[in-house]
């Protein structure tokens, strides 16, 4: 048994200690957003935020996460109350199949939390670990720019801008 | 919001034969005034094969439900179909419920493939909706004793001149919609469209960007076990020994399944099944045979395999004089679909009945294959489409469905979810076939093309199921099913010869399809099939000829094209790009142009692009692209733009980076390091897509129209930047560097 803090709540997880975080999230906690894409750290579709940093959950063993804060896309907002990054992806219609998108969003969210006004170059560099096979890249870039603007406006009303730790 | 995917079987339509409706259908469904005199004998789109209106539209007290036999693959069809139904029925878009491919609920529309969904299903839904609306008006007219012409429809109700409303739910009684569609429908005037033609936001995106269950990968049924398959290390490998006893004792392992060369393990939890899979793979001993061709020599291997040769096009005009003749050979390697999410399926075997949730493109053909594999009647197999990661053709989806079924049969009563590993997806998916084209053409004295010869060598481009033999699990069982004999796909759509016939007007032309039945690597349908390479070849060669003729590539194309809509997209793309006949790109940059009408009968697409080439490293970079597309009546312009943007970016990745690699025995490109694709550092600065809308014209498929023109436009830009023509795909930095240095 291990205690894991995910999306602000503590969970008792009964999994073998070498289990990568991805499977704990999907299998034990029944969360959907972090996706299995390669299990090899090559595609980014499993990305979540741990203590403010984007992390590839498929290659991060659960034991390393004792006492840390894990945030998944589910922890940012909901359909009814989307976080700025979620609103931005909806408004830009930034998905085709969408399978790669949650991972992209989590890395973008981590970037925007430490740099609220990233340049286009910085966003591209940041998203380098992520693959999208549908070719949604142009929209993903636009959505991250839009999210930066939305967060900027949201700053005035901090309640609307839950951030991931 | 983390609820499992809800399985909705609540409204399986009660059976019952065709009933005669109590009023005259003929008057309700009067033909369009401008319908051609010789009316089509059968109704349009998929109504041809599934003519009952209630196969498409059902109305009851809960509202209106729309059905399609097609599957959402990330193209946004759900939204487009809903728009079409809302428009023709006069029902609020949000109030509609849409059910997609399910062998118990929807029409059999075969595969969701070939950019045919709008043409097949979109057209069927549009006409069915219009005819249902006419029936509802007729019924209201009867009840109110008013002439039908005096009635209107709005927001799910028929409205009388005095304002009295009869809701559709009230009007539909019994089997009223269980009638066959008429050949023609009273469609709305496109000028009055309120929903069609609008960029309605996609219905599936909110769930996908908030972590709601959206994919078959996200399904969690009560008591579900997690399975993994151990695939052979190479094609044809035979399992010689496998001691499973240690694996069976691993934590959480429920069962090890061995059936001939089919090996799988089920565990309580997903990571337990992965660990067990690794242990099982280590315990398995295989006999392998070296039987793959030499990768370096692939074009020669292909052209020397026995082939069935057909002249698919011939036109002659000996009066034309010839001045100059050139020849060239173009090649394409095997390429992978490479879905980001490895294939997955969930299966549940209860009381002799198998249910499979799958991201296949064809629930009905897969049902047939799985029934055959399990040796049970098709009626005992139920396939339900649930979205997966984008597939771009026949990837591992159908195989995963068969895997899940075979595993679930061994665990009756227990749902089983299987997902492939990345390495399995890369090694075992059926690849897009390698191809070779040889072109020879001559110019006349005026710089026009006088004759044109095109030879294409290719395998089939579809080994999709129907029978069990197309599925890996069935091939690997102890009592295996043989891989069915490949067949060339018939023209006009074609397979290896898709888009091989030039769309331009050449006085003399001859096109030969060399169909190769031997398949050294496992292959099947990949987005655009042969059109990707054929358009790459034709449009590259057009540029080679234009250069010799001293003509601007855009003008050269227009000079050989009469088709008005084709000319329009060419002119639009050129104008949007800022193309000028005497243009000079900046140093190390090049401009390229290409055009095609997909399948010579679907959407038109022209693309201009700007490439930058690093002369030191050879690295090419697509700087920007401008495209124009005409896909007939546009239903959702933003959805169409999304598809074309995606096609350009994906085709750019195929064209610049991708080839499946192999040694004499095994596939060696087995992950994203050994099969690199586009990453963000190579994403263009801008892609502009311009739509030429054709109100009232038939829907033309567009999901695959961009692949060929994007490839050729990029290749032409590379040639423009470097002065060197590269004819072998992919145009890697190594090849470009070698060409520059040569
Ligand atoms: S699934 Fe983790 S990087 Fe691909
Ligand atoms: S949207 Fe399909 S993989 Fe990115």
pLDDT tens digit string along B514-530? 999 999 999 999 999 99
* pLDDT given at position A159: 45
- Taking the domain B9-202, which CATH number applies? 3.30.365.10
* pLDDT given at position B29: 41
Q: Is A117 a member of any domain?
A: yes
β B381-385/B324-332 pair status = unpaired
Instruction: Note whether A88 and A156 are same-domain residues.
Output: yes
Across the interface, whether the CB atoms of A97 and B648 are under 8 A apart is answered no
* pLDDT given at position A164: 64
Q: Which chain A residues contact residue B671 at CB under 8 A? A: 38, 40, 42
* pLDDT given at position B353: 98
Decide if pLDDT at B513 tops 50: yes
Decide if pLDDT at B729 tops 50: yes
Rounded to 10 degrees, the C-alpha dihedral B470/B474/B478/B483 comes to -10
Instruction: Note whether A32 and A96 are same-domain residues.
Output: no
B161-185, pLDDT tens digit by residue? 999 999 999 999 889 999 999 999 9
DSSP A131: -
ipTM above 0.85, yes or no: yes
Ligand closest to Cα of A57 equals: 1
Q: A103 CB under 6 A from ligand 1? A: no
Decide if pLDDT at B13 tops 80: no
For residues A136 and B678, give the distance between their C-alpha atoms in angstroms, rounded to a whole number.
12
Instruction: Note whether A100 and A156 are same-domain residues.
Output: yes
For residues B299 and B402, give the distance between their C-alpha atoms in angstroms, rounded to a whole number.
33
Segment 65-124 of chain A within 8 Å of chain B by CB: 72-74, 77-79, 82, 86, 89-90, 93-102, 105, 124
B595-628, pLDDT tens digit by residue? 999 999 999 999 999 999 999 999 999 999 999 9
Decide if pLDDT at B12 tops 60: no
Q: How many helices (H) and strands (E) does chain B have?
A: 19, 24
Q: A99 CB under 6 A from ligand 1? A: no
A134 CB within 8 Å of a chain B CB:
yes
* pLDDT given at position B114: 77
Mutate to test the interface with A, among B74, B208, B344 (most CBs of A within 10 A): B208
Across the interface, whether the CB atoms of B650 and A38 are under 8 A apart is answered no
Q: Is A37 a member of any domain?
A: yes
β B344-350/B57-60 pair status = unpaired
Q: Are B42 and B186 in contact (CB under 8 A)?
A: no
Q: What is the mean pLDDT of residues B188-200?
A: 96
Decide if pLDDT at B26 tops 90: no
* pLDDT given at position A155: 66
Q: Is A120 a member of any domain?
A: yes
Q: Is A136 a member of any domain?
A: yes
B562-600, pLDDT tens digit by residue? 999 999 999 999 999 999 998 999 999 999 999 999 999
B98-154, pLDDT tens digit by residue? 999 999 999 999 988 877 888 899 999 999 999 999 999 999 999 999 999 999 999
Decide if pLDDT at B18 tops 60: no
Tell the CATH topology of B216-288+340-423.
Aldehyde Oxidoreductase; domain 4 (3.30.365)
For residues B545 and B557, give the distance between their C-alpha atoms in angstroms, rounded to a whole number.
10
Give A121 to chain B, closest Cα distance, Å. Answer: 9
Of A96, A131, A139, the CB nearest to B74: A96
Looking at the 3D structure of chain A, how many domains does it have?
A: 2
Q: Are B130 and B122 in contact (CB under 8 A)?
A: no
Instruction: Specify the ligand 1 atom closest to the Cα of A37.
Output: 1
Q: Domain residue spans in chain B? A: 9-202, 216-288+340-423, 435-461+496-741
Domain range spanning residue A7?
2-75
Which ranges constitute the DSSP H helices of B597-636? Answer: none
Q: Which chain B residues contact residue A33 at CB under 8 A? A: 210-211
How far CA A49 is from CA of A44, A72, A145, B205, B472, in Å, comes to: 12, 6, 19, 22, 38
Decide if pLDDT at B712 tops 90: yes
Q: A46 CB under 6 A from ligand 1? A: yes
For residues B374 and B584, give the distance between their C-alpha atoms in angstroms, rounded to a whole number.
64
Of B214, B638, B653, the CB nearest to A98: B214
Q: A36 CB under 6 A from ligand 1? A: yes
Q: A55 CB under 6 A from ligand 1? A: no
Decide if pLDDT at B6 tops 60: no
Q: Are B660 and B717 in contact (CB under 8 A)?
A: no
Instruction: Note whether A61 and A97 are same-domain residues.
Output: no
Low-confidence residues in chain A, pLDDT < 70: 155-165
Give A9 to chain B, closest Cα distance, Å. Answer: 15
A48 CB within 8 Å of a chain B CB:
no
Q: A56 CB under 6 A from ligand 1? A: yes
Decide if pLDDT at B34 tops 90: no
Among A15, A49, A75, give the residue marking a domain's end.
A75
* pTM for this prediction: 0.94
Tell the CATH topology of B435-461+496-741.
Aldehyde Oxidoreductase; domain 4 (3.30.365)
Phi-psi group of B303: left, alpha or beta (phi > 0 → left; psi -120 to 50 → alpha; rest → beta): alpha
Instruction: Note whether A104 and A69 are same-domain residues.
Output: no
Decide if pLDDT at B7 tops 50: no
Q: Is A165 a member of any domain?
A: no
Decide if pLDDT at B246 tops 70: yes
Q: Is A27 a member of any domain?
A: yes
Q: What is the CATH number of the domain that holds A61?
A: 3.10.20.30
Instruction: Note whether A64 and A89 are same-domain residues.
Output: no
* pLDDT given at position B115: 77
* pLDDT given at position B24: 32
Helix (H) or strand (E) holding B543: helix B531-549
Which single residue is written with the structure tokens 């102890």? B478
Across the interface, whether the CB atoms of B642 and A131 are under 8 A apart is answered no
């Amino acid at each position: 048994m291990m205690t894991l803090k995910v999306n602000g709540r503590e969970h008792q997880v009964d999994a073998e200690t070498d289990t990568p975080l991805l499977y704990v999230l999907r299998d034990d906690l029944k969360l959907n957003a972090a996706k299995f894409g390669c299990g090899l750290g090559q595609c980014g579709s499993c990305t979540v935020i741990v203590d403010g940093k984007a992390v590839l959950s498929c290659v991060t063993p659960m034991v390393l996460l004792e006492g840390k804060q894990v945030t998944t896309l589910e922890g940012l907002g909901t359909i009814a109350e989307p976080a700025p990054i979620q609103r931005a992806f909806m408004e830009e219609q930034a998905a085709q199949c969408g399978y790669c998108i949650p991972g992209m969003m989590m890395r973008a969210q981590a970037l925007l939390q430490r740099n609220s006004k990233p340049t286009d170059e910085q966003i591209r560099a940041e998203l380098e670990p992520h693959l999208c096979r549908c070719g949604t890249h142009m929209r993903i870039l636009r959505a991250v720019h839009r999210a930066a603007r939305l967060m900027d406006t949201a700053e005035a009303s901090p309640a609307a801008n839950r951030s991931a730790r | 919001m983390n609820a499992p995917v809800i399985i909705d079987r609540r409204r399986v339509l009660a059976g019952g034969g065709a009933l005669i409706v109590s009023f005259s259908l003929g008057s309700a469904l009067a033909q369009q005034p401008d319908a051609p005199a010789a009316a089509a004998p059968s109704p349009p789109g998929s109504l041809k094969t599934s003519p009952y209106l209630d196969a498409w539209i059902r109305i009851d007290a809960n509202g209106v439900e729309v059905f399609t036999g097609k599957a959402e693959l990330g193209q946004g069809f759900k939204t487009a179909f809903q728009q079409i139904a809302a428009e023709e029925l006069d029902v609020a878009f949000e109030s509609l419920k849409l059910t997609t491919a399910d062998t118990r609920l929807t029409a059999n529309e075969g595969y969701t493939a070939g950019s045919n969904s709008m043409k097949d299903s979109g057209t069927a839904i549009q006409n069915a909706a219009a005819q249902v609306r006419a029936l509802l008006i007729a019924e209201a007219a009867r009840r109110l004793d008013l002439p039908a012409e005096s009635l209107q429809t709005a927001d799910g109700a028929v409205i009388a001149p005095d304002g009295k409303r009869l809701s559709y739910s009230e009007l539909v009684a019994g089997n009223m919609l269980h009638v066959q569609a008429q050949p023609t429908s009273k469609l709305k005037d496109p000028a009055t469209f309120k929903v069609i033609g609008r960029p309605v936001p996609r219905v599936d995106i909110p769930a996908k960007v908030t972590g709601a269950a959206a994919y078959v990968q996200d399904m969690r049924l009560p008591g579900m076990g997690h399975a993994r398959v151990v695939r052979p290390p190479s094609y044809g490998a035979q399992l010689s020994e496998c001691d499973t006893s240690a694996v069976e004792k691993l934590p959480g392992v429920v069962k090890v399944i061995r059936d001939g060369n089919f090996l799988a393990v089920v565990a309580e939890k997903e990571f337990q099944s992965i660990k067990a899979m690794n242990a099982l793979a280590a315990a398995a001993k295989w006999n392998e045979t070296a039987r793959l061709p030499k990768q370096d020599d692939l074009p020669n291997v292909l052209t020397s395999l026995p082939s069935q040769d057909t002249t698919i096009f011939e036109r002659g005009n000996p009066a034309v004089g010839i001045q100059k003749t050139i020849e060239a050979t173009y090649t394409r390697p095997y390429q992978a679909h490479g879905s980001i999410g490895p294939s997955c399926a969930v299966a549940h075997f209860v009381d002799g009945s198998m249910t499979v949730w799958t991201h296949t493109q064809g629930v009905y053909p897969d049902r047939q294959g799985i029934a055959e594999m399990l040796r049970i009647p098709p009626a005992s197999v139920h396939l339900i489409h649930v979205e997966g990661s984008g597939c771009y053709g026949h990837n591992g989806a159908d195989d995963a469905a068969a895997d899940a079924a075979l595993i679930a049969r061994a665990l009756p009563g227990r749902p089983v979810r299987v997902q492939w590993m990345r390495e399995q997806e890369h090694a075992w998916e059926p690849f897009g076939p390698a191809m070779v084209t040889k072109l020879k053409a001559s110019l006349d004295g005026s710089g026009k093309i006088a004759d044109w010869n095109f030879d294409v060598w290719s395998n089939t481009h579809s080994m999709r199921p129907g029978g069990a033999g197309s599925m890996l699990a069935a091939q690997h069982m102890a009592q295996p099913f043989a891989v069915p004999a490949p067949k060339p796909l018939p023209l006009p759509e074609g397979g290896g010869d898709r888009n091989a016939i030039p769309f331009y007007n050449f006085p003399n032309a001859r096109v030969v399809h060399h169909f190769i039945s031997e398949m050294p690597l496992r292959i099947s349908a990949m987005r655009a099939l042969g059109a990707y390479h054929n358009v790459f070849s034709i449009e590259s060669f057009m540029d080679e000829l234009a250069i010799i003729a001293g003509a601007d590539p855009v003008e050269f194309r227009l000079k050989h094209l009469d088709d008005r809509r084709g000319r329009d997209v060419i002119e639009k793309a050129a104008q949007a790009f800022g193309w000028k006949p005497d243009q000079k790109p900046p140093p190390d940059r090049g401009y390229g142009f290409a055009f095609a009408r997909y399948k010579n009968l679907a959407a038109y697409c022209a693309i201009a692009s700007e490439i930058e080439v690093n002369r030191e490293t050879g690295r090419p970079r697509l700087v920007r692209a401008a495209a124009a597309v005409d896909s007939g009546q546009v239903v959702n312009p933003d959805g169409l733009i999304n598809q074309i943007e995606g096609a350009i970016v994906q085709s750019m990745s195929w064209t610049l980076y991708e080839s499946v690699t192999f040694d004499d025995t095994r596939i060696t490109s087995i992950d994203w390091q050994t099969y690199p694709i586009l990453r963000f550092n190579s994403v263009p600065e801008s892609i502009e897509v311009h739509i030429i809308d054709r109100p009232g014209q038939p829907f033309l498929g567009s999901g695959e129209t961009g692949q060929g023109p994007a490839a050729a436009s990029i290749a032409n830009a590379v040639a423009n930047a470097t002065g060197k023509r590269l004819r072998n795909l992919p145009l890697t930095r190594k090849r470009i560097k070698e060409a520059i240095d040569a």
